[in-house]
Amino acid sequence: MKFLFVSLVIISLSSYSQDVSKIRSIDSLVNIINRSKLNVQVDSDGNPGGISSQSYVTTWRKGREVKKYVNKTYIQAQQNGTTQKMETIISFYYDRNTVLKVEQSMTKGSAKSKSEFYYYNDKPIYSTPSMVGSSLVSQSMLANAKEILKTLSE
């Protein structure tokens, strides 16, 4: 019984160690992408009405290969005589036409939140913060990242 317990602990630790190694490797590639002098393309889109929003899409490429795609949206709404402002940023990182990482952040007033999703071989391997439904969100982000890559590659 003791042998079985020790074996399970060792297997769990080695699996965790492999994921940590992959995450460090992905973060290293993301750091290289962020510091690289890549071709940049910026586009924007607005929305008139009671709720105003402005989106900026920026794409970084190395030749024809997409390395990073960022969608930054500013939203302003009138509610009960006060103006509410919110900013969302979703960054998608790619290497060799595969998804590495997705970062999502939101700022509304003084409240801020941030999530990171890591992928290896087109499968989610880790997300922060660990939250209820993070697996579903991670799968959704992966599907979005693949669709963006497909659209930009056409």
pLDDT in tens, 68-121: 999 999 988 877 778 888 999 999 999 998 999 999 999 988 889 899 999 999
- Every domain of the chain and the residues it spans: 2-153
Identity of the amino acid at 29? L
What is the mean pLDDT of the segment spanning 20-35? 81
pLDDT in tens, 46-70: 555 567 888 889 999 988 899 999 9
pLDDT in tens, 121-139: 999 998 887 666 678 889 9
> How many angstroms separate the CA atoms of 34 and 101, rounded?
13
Whether residue 51 contacts residue 76, with contact meaning beta carbons closer than 8 Å, is answered with yes
Report in angstroms the alpha-carbon separations of 142 from 13, 23, 26, 120, 124. Answer: 26, 16, 15, 11, 8
pLDDT at 146 over 70: yes
Q: What is the pLDDT of residue 92?
A: 96
> How many angstroms separate the CA atoms of 22 and 104, rounded?
20
Q: What is the pLDDT of residue 44?
A: 58
